[in-house]
Amino acid sequence: MAGGAFGPLFLLGTHRPAKRFTPETIVRGRFMIAFTSDQWIIVALVFVLGMLIGMFLTAGGRRKWRTRYQDEIARRETLEREHRKQTDEWVTKEKEWRERDSLRGAAIKNKGADVDGDGVPDAVDRRPADDTKA
């Protein structure tokens, strides 16, 4: 079956097919649409129109992202400050707890040493049953 560039001959008949509206060139065996200068101008105008619409839709975009960035920095600094404050509080509380534990341990260790509560250990006190304070 013989065929031409635009299809088999039995579909086209003897008439030559009409020219298409867009000029075509053959590159590596494929048809490629070649633009005219008017079409290139339309493509450029559509591109410029798209750029303008994009700019108008994101008007004030620099201010928007800059304020969001500054808000994020302020929020981060606030969180860091609160974290530092809480860490310092926990360190001081932990020191107090350790001091209490050491004092509690010392008091438990010396619990039986002063029966009358006068502040003098009973081993040194002359009269451990004495109710009067020294």
Tell me the per-residue pLDDT of 36-64, one tens digit each, with 9 for 90 and over.
889 999 999 999 999 999 888 877 766 77
Domain ranges of the chain: 14-103
CA-based nearest residue to 19, from 38, 30, 5:
5
pLDDT at residue 128 is higher than 60: no
Question: What is d(CA 65, CA 62) in angstroms, rounded to the nearest whole number?
Answer: 6
Distance of CA 90 to the CA centre of its chain: 28
Confidence (pLDDT) at 75: 97
Neighbours of 33 (CB within 10 A): 10
CA-based nearest residue to 123, from 132, 114, 133, 110:
114
- C-alpha distances in Å from residue 80, one per residue of 71, 86, 118: 14, 10, 51
Check the CA dihedral 56-57-62-64 and report its sign.
positive
Count of all residues that appear for the chain in the document: 134
DSSP state of 67: H
Tell me the per-residue pLDDT of 66-124, one tens digit each, with 9 for 90 and over.
888 999 999 999 999 999 999 999 999 999 999 999 988 887 776 656 666 666 666 66
